[in-house]
Amino acid sequence: MAAPHVAFDLEIPSDVEYIEGIVELARQRCRELNLPSATCSLNVPVALSEALSNAILRGNEAVGGKHVRVRAIVTDAALVFEIVDEGPGFDLDKCTADCTTDDNITKEEGRGLFLMRRLVDEVESFRDHGNVVRLTLRRE
């Protein structure tokens, strides 16, 4: 079994303008790993975009001068993204709103975490030198 390796490890200013570039980098790594087409074009781009925008807009509260760190780690079994912001973190278990209900479907907000959970195999949140959101996609 090969040792895990870091595909990239970057720190970006806390600004949504940086999201597209990071997502494109992640897509390139997915293609290099020969992951399924939809993983490269849908699951990773959308889930990572959601995690980054949450980190910038909610974790760091869109405050200038803050940063977000994003790491991609590849193992034989999985592709893992860790997104670290400077916020206090949040309890994932309390964020269970279903954006598909009749009450919620016409709301503008509230689809981010829902999409992350459906597009990757595991979403975790914990503290480790900042608030970390970890997205895990298992490699079949």
Partner 1 sequence: MSFSIKKQGQVAVVDVEGQLIVGNRQELKQKVLDELEKGEKKFLIDFSQTGYIDSSGLGVLVSLSKKIREQGGELRLANLNDDLQTLFELTKLDTLFQISDTRERALESF
95 binds partner 1 (CB under 8 A): no
Binding segment (CB under 8 A) for partner 1, from list 28-36, 68-76, 87-95, 103-111: 103-111
Binding segment (CB under 8 A) for partner 1, from list 36-44, 67-75, 77-85, 87-95: 36-44
Assess contact for 98 and 110: CB atoms under 8 A: no
Amino acid at position 43, single letter: N
Sort strands 5-13 and 67-74 into parallel, antiparallel or unpaired. Answer: antiparallel
Among 34, 63, 105, 127, binds partner 1 (CB under 8 A): 105
31 binds partner 1 (CB under 8 A): no
CB-based burial of residue 63 (10 Å sphere; 0-12 exposed, 13-18 middle, 19+ buried)? exposed
63 binds partner 1 (CB under 8 A): no
Residue showing tokens 């999409």: 115
DSSP state of 39: I
Assess contact for 125 and 84: CB atoms under 8 A: no
> What's the min distance (Å) between Cβ of 14 and partner 1?
13
Residues of this chain that interact with partner 1 (CB under 8 A) are 16-17, 19-20, 38, 41-42, 45-46, 49-50, 53, 57, 99-100, 105-112, 114-115, 118-119
